[in-house]
Structure 1
Amino acid sequence: MQYDIIPYSYQSSTFASFLRLFATPLLLHRYRAVKLIERMALSGACKNRGEVRIHESLDELSTDLADYIAELSEASVKERGVFAIALSGGSLVGLMRKLCDAPYNKTVDWAKWYIFWADERVVAKTHADSNYKLAKDGLLSKVPIIPSHVHSINDSMTAEEAADDYEFVIRQLVKTRVVSVSEISDCPKFDLILLGMGPDGHVASLFPNHSVLNERDEWVTFITDSSKPPPERITFTLPVINSASNVAVVVTGDSKAEAVHLAIDDVGPDSLSPPARMVQPMKGKLVWFLDKPAASKLDRSQFSE
């Protein structure tokens, strides 16, 4: 495995000063992606662990994440005419906040976005635990996304009913090609699935040692015994997550450092394998966005400058 560091500072570059004065907003947000971040290209036994970007600050991470999402949106709209993105809860939406500001709020083609959730708590949409409410308050209400393009769960149903209904909705949108279909798995192929990760290594609502990790037939499933409240949730299954064109896992804080280590490093077959390690896109690209505390237990002997 080889870790590559790009020692470039946007803020201190003379060329960057020129860009800030004369470049278009789109060129600026692309250029800002080349900042002081550490990138790791994994190969060999960990070839599916993807690219890892370790950021000096949360502000830097947020900017890089906004650039990443904006560029994928632009590419998808150019290729397919739409951008199908699935969100998660937790701190993720807060780290997407820069999409609400210039240049992204003007350059992103928001009318082509279709919003889904990789997991959701089975609570009212107005409840503080709702991932929909979190995204609406932090992002969706601040950008011109078409309301009918926002696909949240039916909060009047039981967990099982909501999972079945959400899968039905996605199947209809696969038929109309709003969501692509994987030629390998016959699962929906979202343009981007954004995931957070818990200290136990869970992603979406796929928790360690839970039977849903073995689900291979359903696109959307449910649990009623989440180890983290609230107990009732729906979630994309691993085949759906691993069928996406792009998957990003966004993790911050030292409380998650051990889980990051177990998910990314080549720790051997006898070590615990958290659900996050099972995120291995079949043909898509996986990118980890980390701050330094979250990355603090990665095997730094593999870094080279």
Structure 2
Amino acid sequence: MKIHISDTPQEAARVVTHQLLKQLDTIRKDSFSLAISGGYSAELLFRLWAEMYYKSLPWYRIHLYWVDERCVSPTDGDSNYGLAKKLFLDKVKIPHMQIHRIMGEANPQHEAQRYSELVKKNLPDNDGYPQFDMLILGMGTDGHTSSVFPGQNDLLTSPQPYAASINPYNGQRRIALTGQPMLRAGLTSFYVIGSEKAEILAQVLNPNTEAEKYPAGYIARHADHIEFFTDEAAAGKLGNTLK
């Protein structure tokens, strides 16, 4: 596991992007599969891509997927796809046929099945699961990642790449990338910023805690290739050993 600590959230976003460029250079093939998340952290990343990397990233090679989606229409303010479209998809030259959105407006179970079949068809197999070239995951203050929340351990071992889930705090229905594809990606990266994430990040990364009770901790402990990208505010409670 590698942990990259930057001075600011913006610098952490640049480091994530440089890692993406490195992965694109390492994996020399025409089609590079990248799965992205939503939320505040993603906003900074997406704005950076639109403003500074709209030419330097080889968008023509990237097939874009989503880690998770809220079960809303793409024009809803809660839509992860809608956020990406607004902040960078409308501003970069990525071929339309290479944007593979989760249809949040569809029946959740049916859409999870459809999207599972899509990624299984498009991506190479890794021990029975589709393998993304890179994932950019976020993490909630409760330790959830994708839309897999604490107590939803069945989604960490699901045989399907995507499954319907429910936000336990507000009952919102979601579609989530399940645990096994998160473990098998070419690079599983967590982009975690902000002082409000300091406590949970320390618990997830501390080898002396029961980190696996958090979905993010389970992924951190078991992923084949994993890196964390964070800022000083979020890393404030990691301690010198982990730094």
Show the counterpart of 2:159. 217
- 1:62 to 2:23 alignment: no
Q: Please give the alpha-carbon distance, in whole angstroms, between the structure 1 residues aligned to 2:155 and 2:38.
A: 19
Are 1:246 and 2:187 an aligned pair?
yes
Is 1:200 aligned to 2:142, yes or no? Answer: yes
* 2:206 aligned residue (259, 265, 273): 265
Residues 117-176 of structure 1: CA deviation (Å, up to 9, x unaligned): 111111101100000001111121111000111111234421111111111211221xxx
Tell me what 2:22 maps to: 71
Identity, in percent, stands at 26
- Residues 1:189 and 1:301: Cα distance change in structure 2 (over 3 Å): closer
Q: Quick one: which amino acid aligns to residue 297 of structure 1?
A: K
Query: 8 Å contact 1:153–1:162 — kept in the other structure?
Result: yes
Taking structure 2 as the reference length, the TM-score comes to 0.92
Residue equivalent to 1:82: 31
- Structure number with bigger Rg: 1
Offset of residue 86 of structure 1: 0.4
CA distance in structure 2 between the aligned counterparts of 1:53 and 1:149, rounded to whole angstroms: 30
Shift in CA distance, 146/229, structure 1 to aligned 2, threshold 3 Å: farther
For residue 88 of structure 2, what is the aligned residue in structure 1? 139
Structure 2 spans left out of the alignment, 5+ residues = none
Aligned residues of 1:245 and 1:283 also touching (Cα < 8 A): no
Is the 1:259–1:274 Cα contact (8 Å) retained in structure 2? no
Q: Give 1:152's match in structure 2, choosing from 98, 101, 104.
A: 101
Alignment equivalent of 2:196, drawn from 244, 250, 255: 255
Could you tell me how far 1:230 is from its partner in structure 2? 6.1
| Aligned-pair CA distance for 1:107 | 2.7
What is the aligned length? Answer: 242
State whether residues 244 and 281 of structure 1, in contact with CA within 8 Å, keep that contact through their aligned partners in structure 2.
no
- Which of 58-67 and 289-298 deviates more? 58-67
- The answer to whether the 8 A contact 2:79-2:104 is kept is no
How far off its partner does 1:109 sit? Answer: 1.6
Cross-structure match for 2:50? 100
130-139 or 164-173, larger mean C-alpha shift = 164-173
In structure 1, what is the equivalent of residue 240 of structure 2? 300
**Which digits, 9 at most, give the CA deviation of each residue in 1:72-125, with x for residues without a partner?**
12332x2x22110001110232232322234x3223221111011111111101
Q: 2:213, 2:93 → 1: CA distance? A: 40
TM-score with structure 1 setting the length:
0.74
The one-letter amino acid paired with 2:140 is G
Q: Which amino acid is the alignment partner of residue 167 of structure 1?
A: S
Displacement of 1:228 in angstroms is 4.3
Q: Report deviation, 1:57.
A: 1.1
Say whether the 8 Å CA contact 1:243–1:282 is kept in structure 2.
Answer: no
Aligned to 1:51: 2
Q: Which residue of 1 aligns with 2:125?
A: 181
Range with greater deviation from structure 2 (164-173 or 191-200):
164-173
Residue 114 of structure 2 is aligned to residue 165 of structure 1: yes
Across the aligned residues of Structure 1 and Structure 2, the Cα RMSD in angstroms comes to: 2.0
1:155–1:201 distance in 2 versus 1, CA, 3 Å: closer
